[in-house]
Amino acid sequence: MNRVEEWSVESDFAGLRLDQAVNQKYKEISRTLAQEMIKNGEILINGESTKPGQKLKGGEAVRIAIRCEEKESNIAATPLDFKILYEDKYIIAIDKPVGLVVHPGAGKEKTTVVSAILGHTKLSPIGAPTRPGVVHRLDKDTSGVMVLAKTREAHRRLSEAFSGRELEKEYLAIIQGHIVNRKGRIEVAIERDKIHRQRMKATSADKGRMAISLFEVVEYLEGATLIKVKIMTGRTHQIRVHMAYTGHPLLGDTTYGSKRLPNHAKHFLHSSRLVFQHPITGKQVELAAPVPEEFAQALSELRSSARAT
């Protein structure tokens, strides 16, 4: 059973976000875990559910159902048919293929990144039953480097590294059209679209969560551009929303206004490089993954078309 804590918020915590305050008050609860608990209704303010970003004033009655033991995952293992880039007893990093979701969601997918890894090894129970070991996610149609945790401590430390921007995340993307600036910084807040709930959208800083992306042109193609993107934050659909904001959505990303490339994936986004400090040993880990075959084929076709014109 969970241990229930009642906390009357001291004035020292006034002005802090709820997830920050919970992390500072209860050291065993990382900010990432606090956010998950708040969304699940395991942390209440004055008896009511709220949001992780709720600002505290002091004096609130906070009720926390602290997880004494995380739930066991009931996900059935499936065959692992993608490449493992790195593995030890604390973490596992993979080259995620296009078309595979990370964990079961509303679609009740049975074959996921998590189910495949569970067929190979154990994952941290944090996030169970549906998201054991998951510290960050890639969209279904995004490929490339992804790291998961195998122990609780590794999970908590990795989560803090991701939320604290203590790592390098680099992507390759094919965007529609020829972007004029060869380099740029996009600093635009993002929020969920209230009408189309599966979409995110650019918004004002007071309404959404700030997101920062740095892009650089790698190559101009026929009606498209290959770019390299480093993200300083990890918002949902961040690169997709930011590039659409510039007027150059990811090629094939019809969700954000692009046209489809015939006979190819929905969009072209690849997590090409991830650099971080190992959560337990502290050593630097640098991981890279080549673009998948379909991405490479699309590049080849677009290069051929550019040479022919």
* CATH number of the domain within which 221 lies: 3.30.2350.10
- Count CB-CB contacts under 10 A for residue 48: 8
Q: Give residues with Cβ within 8 angstroms of 55, minimum separation 6.
A: 15, 16, 17, 18
How far is Cα 309 from Cα 116, in angstroms, rounded to an integer? 45
**Is 78 inside a domain boundary?**
yes
Q: What is the pLDDT of residue 126?
A: 83
Q: Could you identify the residue written with the tokens 């279904």?
A: 140
How far is Cα 23 from Cα 238, in angstroms, rounded to an integer? 25
Domain range for 39: 3-66
Which residues, given as ranges, of the chain have pLDDT below 70? 1-2, 67-72, 106-108, 265, 306-309
User: Which of 66, 81, 114 marks a domain boundary?
Assistant: 66
**Is 277 inside a domain boundary?**
no
User: Are both 109 and 157 inside the same structural domain?
Assistant: yes
Q: How many domains are there within the chain?
A: 3
Q: Are 176 and 258 in contact (CB under 8 A)?
A: yes
**Is 173 inside a domain boundary?**
yes
Q: Give the global pTM.
A: 0.77
User: Are both 159 and 121 inside the same structural domain?
Assistant: yes
Q: What is the pLDDT of residue 110?
A: 83
Q: What is the pLDDT of residue 67?
A: 64
Residues marked active site are found at 139
